[in-house]
Structure 1
């Protein structure tokens, strides 16, 4: 009798995690950014019918990357959870933290007990009365939850894009500013930079200035108008200026400057004439 094939629990969990991460990395990135009047969602999505960004409840939004059929089932379950809780108790009792906990339980149970994990990554956002009261949660394929401070980047090269957002995003930015930042990040930089048309973008906001239902989608025309209102991006500082020169091109203190006192050979007195008899 042959021995059954044995796989250690550690190897099994590692294989499942690698499988889920590869599936998520194939998806187009989603960027979620807080701004002065709400929370903005933006992603590349050429389809006008299959949404990666959606409304869950009055002040709660949802974004996802990965397999569409899997995160769409989770979105529908989230809407039902929010509606049932709001009907049974009160609309104010529906919040992003409770929804994130419900999603975490589902994702964690599937990851540990099912043959295949869900190839999805989720962001759940709730807009508050002020920017410092906004809630933003990131949920991984294994059910782990992270409370994010102001922005989330998921899918694709999320680590590299997140690092760039971290250097440019700041509290109090306007909607045109965060949308322009998201488009720059999605377009890439350097040799891999490309141009993204607004027709291929899906964008939405949770607008804290609206009463009750705060979610609204941004059409391509409106997105173009907002991007046109954004100030130009700041030029990167040249940190590799020549020695003795500051980054703005001016001479540093103590550096030699011909116009600032170094002798000019043309102004030096001529050498005395040499006698023909001199050795």
Structure 2
């Protein structure tokens, strides 16, 4: 039996859909999810102050994404509604990161395998903070609904491989917030070409940073780090500070007047 000219094998169809989704995701800037001493840290290069890549889902659960904004925003809203309904109908403790990750996986998998619409060009993190570091959970979901349980750190987006290699070399458990933040920013700016001085220095104004902080006394553990605090944590120099006069030293005592 001869096949028509329009026939495409299922294997080729799935490969084409996967290539299409990966190409769209690769155009987005990376997001780093990283475990530090007091919780989970999320850092992304995002100059926009209105279109967030990292958001709160529920009391102890956060959501981060890369790819097409309208698609992952729809997923975020659906996750918030699901969490609210489950918490209202049962108990707030029944809303878990694992449950949300499974729901997202089913949605993404159904969309990817459906021939009626294009696959979502997104990757997402679903994170839940525990009472101890060993109880923290970080799930990475791909465009086709696959779920990975990450430990320590995870990266998604365009330069994910380069950023992940840098974190693999420099990351260690139990980092304080300041060191974890500086490491994440350095990894996002890493070029990966091995040339000294080729890494980018990302200004604090182009960063979106948020945490799930277990030390917060409020039930809601999600918090965004404001630009003023971000500059302090990154240790950026103050441009308004006066430069010392050439040939002088701040450590020299003042010269007494004659007589």
Q: TM-score, normalised by structure 1?
A: 0.80
CA–CA distance in structure 2, aligned partners of residues 115 and 80 of structure 1: 24
Equivalent residue in structure 2 for 1:222, among 223, 229, 232? 229
Shift of 1:169: 1.2
Residues 189-198 or 160-169, more deviating: 189-198
1:201 aligns with 207
Say if 2:6 is the partner of 1:16.
no
Shift of 1:187: 1.0
2:159 aligns with 157
Say if 2:27 is the partner of 1:26.
yes
Residues 99-108 or 180-189, more deviating: 180-189
Shift of 1:55: 0.2
Shift of 1:227: 1.7
CA–CA distance in structure 1, aligned partners of residues 92 and 152 of structure 2: 24
Q: Which has the larger radius of gyration?
A: 1
CA–CA distance in structure 2, aligned partners of residues 160 and 198 of structure 1: 21
- Once superposed, what is the RMSD of the aligned Cα atoms? 1.3
2:133 aligns with 131
> Quick check: 2:28–2:158 contact (8 Å CA) kept in 1?
yes
Relative distance call for 1:227 and 1:16 in structure 2 (3 A) is: same
Q: Deviations over 1:159-215 (max 9, x none)?
A: 121121112111111100110001101111436411211011000000001131000
Q: Pick 1 or 2: higher relative contact order, CA cutoff 8 A, min separation 6.
A: 2
Listed as ranges, the gaps of 5+ residues in structure 2 are 237-259
Aligned length: 228
CA–CA distance in structure 2, aligned partners of residues 196 and 150 of structure 1: 23
Runs of 4+ residues over 6 Å off in structure 1: none
Shift of 1:4: 4.8
CA–CA distance in structure 1, aligned partners of residues 149 and 26 of structure 2: 21
1:91 aligns with 92
CA–CA distance in structure 1, aligned partners of residues 4 and 133 of structure 2: 60
> Quick check: 2:166–2:190 contact (8 Å CA) kept in 1?
no
1:168 aligns with 170
Give secondary structure in 1 for the equivalent of 2:144: coil
1:38 aligns with 39
CA–CA distance in structure 2, aligned partners of residues 219 and 101 of structure 1: 32
CA–CA distance in structure 1, aligned partners of residues 219 and 229 of structure 2: 22
CA–CA distance in structure 1, aligned partners of residues 168 and 202 of structure 2: 21
